[in-house]
Each structure stands twice: as structure tokens, then as C-alpha cells.
Amino acid sequence: MEKPLMIALDFPDLDQVRQFLAQFEQTDQLTVKIGMELFYHYGPAVVTTIKQADCDIFLDLKLFDIPHTVEKAMEQLGALGVDYVTVHTLGGFQMLQAAKKGLSDGAKRAGLPKPHLLGVTELTSISEQVLKEQQNCRLDMNNQVVSLAKLAKDSGCDGVITSALELSDLVKSVGTDFEYVVPGIRMHQDAAGDQNRVATPKDARKDGASAIVVGRPITQSNDPEHTYQRYLKSWTLK
């Protein structure tokens, strides 16, 4: 899908993942997100298992360490055959460049396309107050996210993870030749949960999102495919 709706597979074990995916008629049309919970439990085997369903895979591990460590870790991830991986932009220019190199080297070694490298800006659970009082950031949220996105682009990342609330400023300041992947997506009737900066699929599309990530509203639904189609319609309908 050109502008995917990514489903966050926030499950504790693979049996639940298999049961969830079995409720979809065409899993080869899906893009799914594997996060820390599943990956730290199963390691690369979880990628192998989910690839059997022909899903595109977004591996969201938010690497954040010294440049050499991140480069070598990315070499391993680049060889897995996933489509997207994440790194934290707060690691700085050298770390982001190292991530790109490691990802490219790993994919080349495995004879695979290089995954898209996405920089995490500020988590959607971070409020303006937390940014100021706990992270001691001198910038407001919009300017902080724009600054980190510019850093990611200058370092060679393909895009960033960002709240929809910063999208308009990002598109103006960073450009349209960059990917903006937006979590914290909720329909008006769905609970926000622990997300502080949320938006609807329609709003995210209108403001320039390249992809959106939806988790619990779909995975905890009584009819996941129906809910997925509802979100997809809102995301793609012009």
C-alpha cells in the first residue's frame, strides 16, 4: 500500500498474533508493527513467523545508544527482511548516520532492499508539560519535533514518527519529500488510552501523513477486520 495503515500488534505472545491475523481474509494487504514486547520475547523468530502471512513489517525498537552499537544492531535488523525500522533522533547526528549505514550494510549482505529508516521524535504519550518539566526542553513541542525531524533528514533518515498535531509545521519546515508516520490515531468514538496527542485518520491524511499506526482500537475490537476497514476508509477516502 502506498500510504499504509499500520496495525500495532501489541500482543504478549505469537498465538494471539496468529489468532488475530486469522480474522483477516487478505493478510498480504496488511502492514503490521512489531514492537518491543513481541521482539524481546521471541527475537528475530517473530519476524520470520509474521512474514509467512506476507504482511509488510514495521519493526519498532527505537534504537538509542552510542553510534557503533547502533550501527552493529542495525546490521542485524537490516538482514531480517522488514520494511521499516526506528531509531531515536535524540541520539544525535552521528548515531543516526551510523544507523543508516548499519541498516544498508545488513540489507546488502542479505540481498534484500534496505528498510525505511524512521526517526522517533517525541513520543505521543509526552505532553507539553512533560517536555518542559521533565525533559527540561527549552523549545515548545512543535519546534522540538521540527528540530528533531530536520536532524533526521540531514542524517539520512527516510522519515520520522510524529504526532499528527505537528504535521502541518513539519510539512512546511521539512518538506514533502520525507515520510511522516503518525501513531496515536483514534476515531472520535474510540478511547485515547495513554495517548496525549491524538488525531483521526482523516485529519492525519489532510495534514500530510505518509502512514498511520493504529493499535488497540483494532486489536481489541470484537471485529478487527471491520474496525480496520472503518479506519482504512477514513484514512484513504478523499
Catalytic annotation, pick one of 62, 100, 158, 190: 62
Contact 55, 32 (CB under 8 A): yes
| Structural domains of the chain ordered from first start | 5-236 (3.20.20.70)
Would you give the distance in Å from CA 115 to the centre of its chain? 12
Is 65 considered catalytic here? yes
Residue 67 among known ligand-binding residues: yes
Residue 159 among known ligand-binding residues: no
Would you give the distance in Å from CA 87 to the centre of its chain? 10
Longest CA–CA span in the chain (Å) reads: 49
Give tens-digit pLDDT for 50-83. Answer: 999 999 999 999 999 999 999 999 999 999 999 9
Is 72 considered catalytic here? no
Task: Provide the whole-model pTM.
Answer: 0.92
Catalytic annotation, pick one of 51, 65, 105, 202: 65
Residue 195 among known ligand-binding residues: yes
Give tens-digit pLDDT for 86-133. Answer: 999 999 999 999 999 999 999 999 999 999 999 999 887 888 999 999
Distance CA 46, CA 43 (A): 6
Length of the chain: 238
Is 203 considered catalytic here? no
Residue 238 among known ligand-binding residues: no
